[in-house]
Structure 1
Amino acid sequence: MSDNKDHSTGGEQQPREEGGAPGRVVGTPSPAAERRLLPEGDTAAPEGAGEELDEQAAKRAERVVASLFVLAFAASVAFIAYYIGWSGRDGGMHGIERARESNLWLGGTMTLAFLAMAVGITIWVRRLMTSQPVVQERHELRADDATRESFAKTFLEGAQESGITKRPLLRRTLLLAAAPLGLAPLVLLRDLGPLPEKRLRHTYWGEAVRRAKAQGKKGVRLVVDGTNKPLKVSDFATPGGMITVVPEGIEEHSEHPLNEIAKAVTILINVPPDKMSPRMRARGWDVNGIVAYSKICTHVGCPAALYEQTTHHILCPCHQSTFDATDAAKVVFGPAARPLPQLPLAEEDGYLVATGDFPEPIGPSFWERG
């Protein structure tokens, strides 16, 4: 009976599996170190290496590649021109109405630019580059002077073989195509603006009220968002309810109705009059307990769209900012720094009307409001 000891080395030998190779003695060098991916001295060049190009075919390929680079340049310029010029009219890509058109043109021109560049470079590599065998030996990571000189020589040889120095037409058209692509990310910074200036100081409520008062009315009627149905006081007489409203005529009279609705959207809440705080009653902006607040949370601009009837709290579901509907939407919990702006209300011919704009800018304080 034998043990798994190699008496010549004193090391412990791994057991031999049935039908397998004998186990290696622990502590001896791995046989993998003696194996090579390529046989010693095998420096055979790949097939086709060093072959001279057919100059006539190369010229044709050169013209094709140059045409593709010029096409990539034109598509990149079209991308930038559309982004800066045509997309800026009528609300441009910052408006909701033309988002589909902007996506189509911007995506199409950028796709064409990258595709033309990719096809051109592929044809360049396959039709215009020759190949030479390159033997690379592994040394220490620190490069000496001889290695640097060898690298420079190899780099120059590679540049010569690629045709980048021999074919100035390709070099120039490649740089031409790449230049606007490099500028495109800088142009996209325009999406961080333009600055709204004073457009967030006021909403469409103010303009609608001025138009209504010019016609001898007390204010502009509130309509239900989505149905545009004017809201009577009797329609919203049950305490505990909440509904979203917008100014009447906002879609007919505003130049960019969706943008204006996004700013003017308001929540209407019916709270018991005896629960209102003294400053709410002194303000007199309610109609039988019906109050109106901006729906845009003052934290980061999410819709404050939840209402808890028993506590009379308005909740923003994004970050749980909570506002007290009975006390001028005062912040009672969460990261919001200031109350929701309140809209002044009145009654006219049985309908709920707004008598003015929000007294302060809507949205979070960090928005640039001019």
Structure 2
Amino acid sequence: MAHEDDPLELERASWKPSPGLAVAVTDPVRNPELPPHRERMTDKDPVAMKRAVRTVYTLFYLSIAGSIWAVAAYMLFPIESGRMIDIRQNNLFIGLGIALALLAIGIAAIHWSKAIMSDKEFVEPRHATRGRDTTRAAAIQAFSDANEESGFGRRTMIRNSMIAALVASVAPAIVLFRGLAPENTPEHPHGGDPVYLLSHTMWKEGTRLAHDPSGEPIRAADVTLGSAVHVIPEDLADLSHSDGYLEEKAKAIVLLMRLLPEQLTESPERADWSYDGIVAYSKVCTHVGCPVALYEQQTHHLLCPCHQSQFDVTDAAKVIFGPAARPLPQLPITVDDEGYLIARSDFTEPVGPSFWERH
């Protein structure tokens, strides 16, 4: 009841809607239901359905052909030859084969779902999920219905070609692993032995140290205190890409640094491996082979940017931090009669990452 002394309550009690004013209806909104189902051409025409089925399994077979071509291209254009044309064609044709294989699978799957699988709309009521026998039976029935609607069990050509295409699509990736393990050949009798390959580089007694990439020899007098110089063997410039330039450079790259001689801690057997405070270490990290090229002048530490391994240049490049398992191999150096820095020998241990076969 409105209080007779309350103007607001009196106004509310006396209010009536004007004749032209619409009043909101509080009835619940009616469910509009699903729109009428529109049949596709493949639902109405058996010929169109057969044509769609042929299209799908033809695409799956095209995918198989692409996978086979990628494997064949790997063999027809071997990157081991070192020829730039083979490397380019290898990348081009393998890429085209893999792209065709995956693209055909994708297009076939989309066309299958749009033209062949059942597309009737339905409403699934929500209910509490319980692990009862009836729930399990309903799940099994749902899988059975999905199999029936998709035609996976009935349309053997589509099913078998799809499985074959999926299996074939991984073949190029498996075959590409072959390039990680070169085999022995008459020209390269130790091509499959990583210990031998990583134990022998282009460094030998008398080889001059040269700037990377110019190949200009380095005088000891030109190496300033606190500097770090990227170094390659002088003979490397004589190699072409077809002769293994990149492979030899990857093993022989060196970082040269100059410290005060009294800052170096050298064992008796390595006392003559440096020259007037100049030391040379392999740039290839002993963890996974990244280039160790960050030198900190104040602490004399070398840092690998990939996984943050740190090496102490003053103490035989020993590992002081990070996942690397052993010090960087040291290149023994001295100078020749003209004052150029030269190697005393090759590295005395395999360069690169630690691996179980190395001695």
Give yes or no for TM over 0.5: yes
Alignment partner for residue 344 of structure 1, among 317, 332, 335? 332
Paired residue for 2:226?
Answer: 240
Distance (Å, rounded) in 2 between the aligned partners of 1:337 and 1:123:
53
- Give the share of equivalent positions with the same residue, in percent: 36
1:52-89 per-position Cα deviation (integer Å, ceiling 9, x unaligned): 43122222222222221111111122334445x35754
The amino acid of 2:56's aligned partner reads: V
Paired residue for 1:356?
Answer: 345
Paired residue for 1:222?
Answer: 209
Identify unmatched segments of 5+ residues in structure 1: 4-20, 23-30, 210-217
State the 1:245 CA deviation. Answer: 1.2
The amino acid of 1:231's aligned partner reads: I
Paired residue for 2:70?
Answer: 79
The amino acid of 1:224's aligned partner reads: H
Distance (Å, rounded) in 2 between the aligned partners of 1:97 and 1:272:
49
The answer to whether the aligner puts 1:267 opposite 2:255 as a matched pair is: yes
State the 1:334 CA deviation. Answer: 2.2
Distance (Å, rounded) in 2 between the aligned partners of 1:221 and 1:300:
28
State the 1:156 CA deviation. Answer: 4.5
So what's the TM-score if we normalise by structure 2?
A: 0.71
The amino acid of 1:341's aligned partner reads: P
The CA RMSD measured in Å over matched residues stands at 4.3
Distance (Å, rounded) in 1 between the aligned partners of 2:28 and 2:176:
53
Paired residue for 2:58?
Answer: 67
Distance (Å, rounded) in 1 between the aligned partners of 2:113 and 2:332:
70
Paired residue for 1:90?
Answer: 80
State the 1:193 CA deviation. Answer: 6.0
Number of paired residues?
Answer: 325
Paired residue for 1:123?
Answer: 111
State the 1:189 CA deviation. Answer: 6.3
1:276-313 per-position Cα deviation (integer Å, ceiling 9, x unaligned): 446369631233443222223345544333445555x1
Partner of 1:220, secondary structure, is coil
State the 1:266 CA deviation. Answer: 1.0
Distance (Å, rounded) in 1 between the aligned partners of 2:318 and 2:180:
31
The answer to whether the aligner puts 1:324 opposite 2:332 as a matched pair is: no
Task: Give the 3 Å change call, closer, same or farther, for CA 274–281 of structure 1 in structure 2.
Answer: farther
Distance (Å, rounded) in 2 between the aligned partners of 1:38 and 1:276:
85
Distance (Å, rounded) in 2 between the aligned partners of 1:115 and 1:198:
41
Identify unmatched segments of 5+ residues in structure 2: 4-22, 183-191
Task: Give the 3 Å change call, closer, same or farther, for CA 189–226 of structure 1 in structure 2.
Answer: closer
The answer to whether the aligner puts 1:314 opposite 2:301 as a matched pair is: yes
Distance (Å, rounded) in 2 between the aligned partners of 1:281 and 1:51:
83
1:1-370 correspondence runs (5 A): 38=31, 46-48=37-39, 52-82=43-73, 85-86=75-76, 89-90=79-80, 103-132=91-120, 134=122, 136-142=124-130, 155-156=143-144, 158-181=146-169, 197-199=194-196, 201-206=198-203, 209=204, 219-236=206-223, 238-253=224-239, 255-277=243-265, 279=267, 283-309=271-297, 313-318=300-305, 319=308, 321-325=310-314, 327-331=315-319, 333-335=320-322, 336-350=324-338, 351-366=340-355, 369=358
Task: Give the 3 Å change call, closer, same or farther, for CA 80–35 of structure 1 in structure 2.
Answer: farther
- Indicate conservation of the 8 Å contact 2:202/2:248, yes or no: no
Q: Which moved more, 1:58-67 or 1:195-204?
A: 195-204
1:298-345 per-position Cα deviation (integer Å, ceiling 9, x unaligned): 45544333445555x1321532614133x43345x3235543322122
State the 1:225 CA deviation. Answer: 0.8
State the 1:112 CA deviation. Answer: 1.7
State the 1:263 CA deviation. Answer: 1.8
Task: Give the 3 Å change call, closer, same or farther, for CA 37–168 of structure 1 in structure 2.
Answer: farther
Distance (Å, rounded) in 2 between the aligned partners of 1:129 and 1:282:
75
So what's the TM-score if we normalise by structure 1?
A: 0.69
- Indicate conservation of the 8 Å contact 2:261/2:277, yes or no: yes
Paired residue for 1:27?
Answer: none
The amino acid of 2:351's aligned partner reads: I
Task: Give the 3 Å change call, closer, same or farther, for CA 56–258 of structure 1 in structure 2.
Answer: same
Task: Give the 3 Å change call, closer, same or farther, for CA 369–37 of structure 1 in structure 2.
Answer: farther
Distance (Å, rounded) in 2 between the aligned partners of 1:50 and 1:282:
83
